[in-house]
Amino acid sequence: MENLDVMVLRTLRDWRRAGRRALLATVVRTWGSSPRPVGSIMALCEDGAVAGSVSGGCIEDDLIYRHTRAYAQGAAGTDPMPVGAPTFVKYGITADEAHRFGLPCGGTLELLLEFDPDAGALEALVQALEAGQLMTRTVQLADGRVTLAPAARPEALRLDATALVNTFGPEYRMLLIGAGPLTEYLTTMALFCGFAVTVCDPREEYRSAWSVPGATLVSDMPDDVVRAFRADRRSCVIALTHDPKLDDLALLEALQTDAFYVGAIGSRRNNEARRDRMVRHFDQTTESLARLRGPIGIYIGSKTPPEIAVSVMAEVLAVKNAVQLPREMAVAQAKDARSLGEPAVVGPVCGVG
């Protein structure tokens, strides 16, 4: 499954390029609880087709009803669909509306609706994203005019009295070293979460059994693959072979990049041995290895490959989303407590105590 924003923008581009009327809805403000974060986008075609989401489905239904009816009336020459300047719309202002639209806890969200976005600007944006560029899209509120510019880093949506600025990035990427059963489960989850996944394994016996469609499978040595991968701030590199000949050099290469997550499977003992090898044989230091994660995964008592994949994917997403995780010592304490039959309390996770 590809990056959701890229899919929405590509679909909207195709509609507009085919001469079909459509709108782009962007979540610009939220109050209280909200089903989708600020910056989320959705495209709506004149025939009611939808790409993306701004809620759990309830607000989409209202937008479809209102605007497909407006498109039909416009085609008949009465009450035409708006054109030109974008407009704002709020949902969930009252408790009754919150209940009607299914917003949790009385939450409220505000959308910016852009009518018939320019197909040429959408084409330029999609091409840049498909080429791996990070882009900002600025919409002038007075007339809907759009300008595009490369971005140096991901930024939160900005809205002022004159313009909306939203940053769009290419797909997040994941490079996995080793093509075993754990990799198959982790690949499936990563694809589902919108990552583009590359799996590297020079061992023919592992590659021949690979069975997950949608991922790129390569056979070069892992350190060469990491260099060619050119990991950036939207990339992660994870070693899953337990084989130092395959993992160590690749991890060292990954630590020289801007990858937001670099880690390797293994126990605390194996992790300590790996770090010791890197210090003794590759002139590394505690500081140079500070970004290397291991053992990887959030502690959930997992033993089977699918459960371990869940724990690893959860940690990757938490790091991606800048969520503070329990320290390694807290995880170790949880494991020790579990071995003694005591409750495993590891402290606050995701803001829940």
pLDDT class of 353 with cuts at 50, 70, 90: very low
Assess whether pLDDT exceeds 70 at residue 254. yes
Q: Which residues 6+ apart lie within 8 Å of 28 measured at CB? A: 38, 88, 110, 111, 112, 157, 159, 164
Task: Please state, in angstroms and rounded to a whole number, the distance separating the CA atoms of residues 268 and 247.
Answer: 16
Assess whether pLDDT exceeds 60 at residue 329. no
pTM value > 0.75 = no
Assess whether pLDDT exceeds 80 at residue 327. no
Question: What is the structure's pLDDT at 81?
Answer: 59
Whether the CB-CB separation of 156 and 40 falls below 8 Å is answered with no
pLDDT 10s digits, 109-159: 899 999 999 999 999 999 998 887 889 999 999 999 999 999 987 788 999
Report strand pairing: 292-293 vs 261-264: parallel
Q: What domains lie within the chain, and their CATH numbers? A: 4-131 (no CATH), 172-339 (3.40.50.720)
What's the order of all strands across the beta sheet hosting 108-115? 50-52, 41-45, 22-31, 108-115, 87-91
Residue 52: strand, helix, or coil? strand
pLDDT 10s digits, 28-53: 998 876 667 899 999 999 999 999 98
Question: What is the structure's pLDDT at 1?
Answer: 45
Question: What is the structure's pLDDT at 309?
Answer: 96
Q: Which residues 6+ apart lie within 8 Å of 12 measured at CB? A: 22, 24, 43, 51, 117, 122
pLDDT (average), residues 249-278? 95
Task: Please state, in angstroms and rounded to a whole number, the distance separating the CA atoms of residues 241 and 221.
Answer: 13
